[in-house]
Amino acid sequence: MAVARAARRTTATMSGVPTVALPTNVGTLVVQAPHEKGTVSSIAQLFTVLGATVLDSAHFSDPVSRRLFQRIQFDLGLGPDRDALERELGALASQQALQWRVCYGDRRKRVGILVSKQEHCLYDLLIRHRAGELACDIAVIVSNHADAASVAAHFNVPFHHVPVTQATKVQAELAAAAVLESAGVDLVVLARYMQILSPALVARFPHRIINVHHSFLPAFVGGNAYRQAHEKGVKMIGATSHYVTAELDQGPIIEQATIRCAHRDTVDDLVRKGRDLEKQVLAAAVRWHLEDRVQVHDGKTVVFD
């Protein structure tokens, strides 16, 4: 249940991109724990005792897994410092088997975007970022084609062209990973990047790689989803954003959307309709991840709105 929203202050960077500046004492606590009586109240009491203010709080208890998921946005104000809060959280975690992390508003996440030839999702993310809708720094764009170089230049984002062939795929992936790690990215976004990532690369960024797939998963996995949908004569197509795992198109789903289609629609019509869905679900997933609204457990997600 929302209690209050933190006041935000908008500034502008040198590149003209508005950013949301949060006070250094505002943060977000994310918790997972076994569902036990008193856990939620214990966490609330911790903030009360420390003199911190809870700005927004939501929790969900899964009756199947018997697991608690919680997200709290708080303001330390003139009360405890970060170290004091985290010491108390650590002590509580040892007593009640909590898994927790705290993210502070003055530390913007760094995002790396991977893209191939289709640029609609890339443009959409960059425009939303410029409009101040995505609270992050877009650190780098990596592509296996040179086409997106002009797009990156227009938005003043570093661009790296890393060609991929069947013979050089392993080396190319290592090069792309080196670029991402050198840029210090916290999140990798596959904006219609038409390459399958190896399990080794996925393992470097656990639950920190978001992909958009052009179907309503688990239907029509792989690279020709719209053609598969057309061949099946479906009356509804969709798009799915999900975290990437070692198994192709099987990662935890973050967001999905659908649109009606008809017998008159060609494959090109489905592609045109689907592109709007792809942009919507990818942007939503990226924003929710940046705001620490997504938690993963047992192959599924809990997404706090």
Three-state secondary structure call for residue 7: coil
Q: Is 249 a catalytic residue?
A: yes
Placement of tokens 């904006």 in the chain: 191
Q: Are strands 136-143 and 209-213 parallel, antiparallel or unpaired?
A: unpaired
Cα–Cα nearest to 114, from 49, 62, 161: 161
Check whether the bond before 218 is cis (ω within 30° of 0).
yes
Q: Of 75, 124, 186, 249, which residue is the catalytic one?
A: 249
Contact between 247 and 258 (Cβ < 8 Å): no
Contact between 188 and 210 (Cβ < 8 Å): yes
| Phi, psi angles (nearest 5°) of residue 211 | -115, 155
b/e string for 7-34 if b means 16 or more Cβ within 10 A?
eeeeeeeeeebebeebbebbbbbbbbbe
* Strand ranges across the sheet with 53-62: 53-62, 67-75, 26-34, 99-104
Kindly list the catalytic residues.
249
